[in-house]
């Protein structure tokens, strides 16, 4: 499914027929049932994969074959090579459908408004994690003009504490994360192809965590809170040990996050504040086959994969 999100965040957000077959039947059924892809103009030029010497050729479609079944060919050397008609198909991601699916998974009401053509959709508003928030879907948030979408769009830039959904990577630019904005990637966890309610559940969790990390940042001294039970835990040593593990294994932040049972967003917050919710920290320790006490000291067994 990651291949879908990566493609969805590209300018050329379409799949060729032969690429689609790589998704497998369950995902193809989902695309079909939800009408997530719409047929574009067929390819007119394809690469010859027949002679071992790739070359681009115009496609010749013959519709008046003796048996009435259309066939496609390209020239190769002195002869011609037949091409599967399926392979000529181009299927583009339908963002309006994706926007609607996302809205319904989050239980948002109202109409979807495109606030920047093909790039930003206001999916609706809802009370999420104790605040009324606008929910936006942004395509190409990391494109060179990505920040322009925010700066140049009053509806988006003036929205208080919005939830901003992107398709692949969460951008690093501080502007996207200021003013109580929460940016989250729809690719961060599985929801589209399985239980859609996962999206709302995880989103609420992330928003709560975000609110929690803001509170932690404002009250850094835990000793002052006396014997009140702290909701979050962590240490810079633990963060550094996890980052060292990531580098040693050659993992991305996303891969490390999966290994330690959390999300890239939560892990990045952990790096920033050295604190995460107790339950998250316990899960990390468990996944690393150690105890929370040991993880606080940056200790966990060296695992061989
Ligand atoms: Zn050839």
Q: Give domain status of residue 193, yes or no.
A: yes
Total residues found in the chain within this entry: 305
Asked if the structure places residue 284 within a domain, the reply is yes
* Ligand 1 midpoint to CA 17 (Å): 20
13 CA → ligand 1 middle, Å: 28
CA distances (Å), 86 to each of 62, 89, 91, in order?
Answer: 14, 5, 11
Where the chain has pLDDT below 50, the residues are: 218-228, 305
pTM above 0.95, yes or no: no
Domain boundary among the residues 178, 210, 242 is at 210
Q: How far is the CA of 33 from the centre of ligand 1 (A)?
A: 37
Judge if 115 and 202 occupy the same domain.
yes
Read off the pLDDT of residues 11-68 as tens digits, 9 standing for 90 and up: 999 999 989 988 989 999 999 999 999 999 999 999 998 888 889 999 999 988 888 8
Ligand 1 centroid to Cα of residue 51, in Å, is 4
Looking at the fold, whether 149 and 100 belong to one and the same domain comes out as: yes
Distance 59 CA to ligand 1 centre (A): 13
- Expressed in angstroms and rounded, the spacing between residue 208 Cα and the centre of ligand 1 is 57
DSSP state of 171: P
Query: What one-character-per-residue DSSP string does 40-96 give?
Result: -PPPSEEE--SSSS--EEE-EEE---TTS--EEEEEETTEEEEE-HHHH-EEEE-HH
Quick one: pLDDT at residue 209?
84
Cα 18 to ligand 1 centre (Å): 18
Decide if 38 is inside a domain. yes
State residue 97's pLDDT score.
Answer: 96
Residue 304 located in a structural domain: no
Task: Tell me how far the alpha carbon of residue 82 lies from the centroid of ligand 1, in angstroms.
Answer: 11
- 135 and 76 in a common domain: no
Asked whether residue 226 falls in the same domain as residue 158, the answer is no
Supply 227's token pair: 């014997």
Residue 301 lies in a domain: no
Cβ atoms 48, 55 nearer than 8 A: yes
Asked if 126 and 192 sit in the same domain, the reply is yes
Judge if 130 and 204 occupy the same domain. yes
Q: Are residues 201 and 114 in the same domain?
A: yes
Distance (angstroms) between ligand 1 centre and the Cα of 145 equals 40
State the pLDDT at residue 66. Answer: 84
pLDDT in the model for residue 244: 92
Query: What is the distance between the alpha carbons of residues 120 and 143, in angstroms, rounded to a whole number?
Result: 13
Does residue 186 share a domain with residue 245?
no
Are residues 101 and 206 located together in one domain of the fold? yes
Measured in Å, residue 53 CA sits from the centre of ligand 1 at: 6
Q: Is residue 11 part of a domain?
A: yes
Structural domain boundaries enclosing 155: 95-210
Supply the pLDDT for residue 174: 85
Domain assignment of residue 265, yes or no: yes
Q: Do 262 and 196 belong together in one domain?
A: no
Residue 280 is part of a domain; what is its CATH number? 1.10.260.40
pLDDT attached to residue 217: 52
pLDDT of residue 302: 79
If asked whether residues 83 and 101 sit together in one domain, one would say no
Residues 37 and 121 in one domain: no
From 192, 210, 228, the end of a domain falls on 210
190 SS3 class: coil
Pick from 160, 183, 210: which residue ends a domain?
210
Convert 260-287 to b/e letters by CB count within 10 Å (16 or more is b).
bebbbbbbebbbebbbbbeebbbbbbeb
The answer as to whether 215 is a domain residue is no
Q: In whole angstroms, what is the distance from residue 249 CA to residue 236 CA? A: 20
User: Structural domain tally of the chain?
Assistant: 3
CA of 45 to the centre of ligand 1 (A): 13
**In the prediction, which pLDDT does 140 show?**
95
* Interval between CA 52 and ligand 1 midpoint (Å): 7
Contact predicate 207/226, CB 8 Å: no
């Amino acid at each position: 499914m990651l291949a879908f999100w990566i493609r969805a965040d590209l300018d050329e957000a379409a799949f060729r027929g032969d690429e689609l077959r790589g998704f497998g039947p369950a995902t193809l059924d989902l695309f079909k049932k939800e009408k997530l892809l719409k047929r574009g103009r067929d390819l007119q030029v394809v690469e010859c994969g027949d002679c071992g010497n790739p070359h681009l050729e115009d496609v010749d479609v013959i519709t008046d074959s003796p048996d009435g079944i259309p066939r496609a060919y390209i020239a190769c050397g002195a002869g011609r090579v037949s091409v599967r008609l399926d392979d000529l198909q181009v299927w583009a991601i339908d963002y309006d459908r994706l926007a609607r699916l996302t809205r319904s998974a989050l239980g948002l009401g109202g109409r979807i408004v495109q606030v920047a053509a093909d790039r930003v959709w206001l999916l609706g508003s809802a009370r999420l994690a104790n605040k009324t928030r606008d929910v936006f879907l942004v395509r190409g948030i990391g494109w060179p003009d990505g920040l322009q979408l925010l700066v140049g769009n009053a509806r988006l830039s003036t929205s208080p504490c919005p939830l901003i959904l992107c398709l692949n990577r969460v951008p690093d630019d501080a502007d996207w994360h200021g003013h109580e904005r929460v940016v989250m990637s729809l690719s961060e966890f599985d929801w589209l192809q399985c239980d859609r309610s996962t999206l709302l559940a995880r989103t609420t969790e992330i928003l709560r965590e975000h609110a929690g990390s803001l509170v932690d940042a404002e009250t850094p001294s835990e000793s002052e809170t006396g014997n009140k039970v702290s909701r979050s835990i962590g240490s810079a040593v633990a963060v550094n040990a996890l980052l060292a593990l990531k580098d040693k294994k050659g993992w991305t932040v996303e891969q490390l996050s999966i290994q330690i049972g959390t999300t890239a967003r939560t892990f990045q917050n952990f790096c920033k504040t050295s604190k995460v919710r107790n339950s998250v920290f316990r899960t990390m320790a468990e996944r690393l086959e150690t105890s929370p006490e040991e993880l606080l000291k940056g200790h966990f067994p060296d695992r061989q994969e």
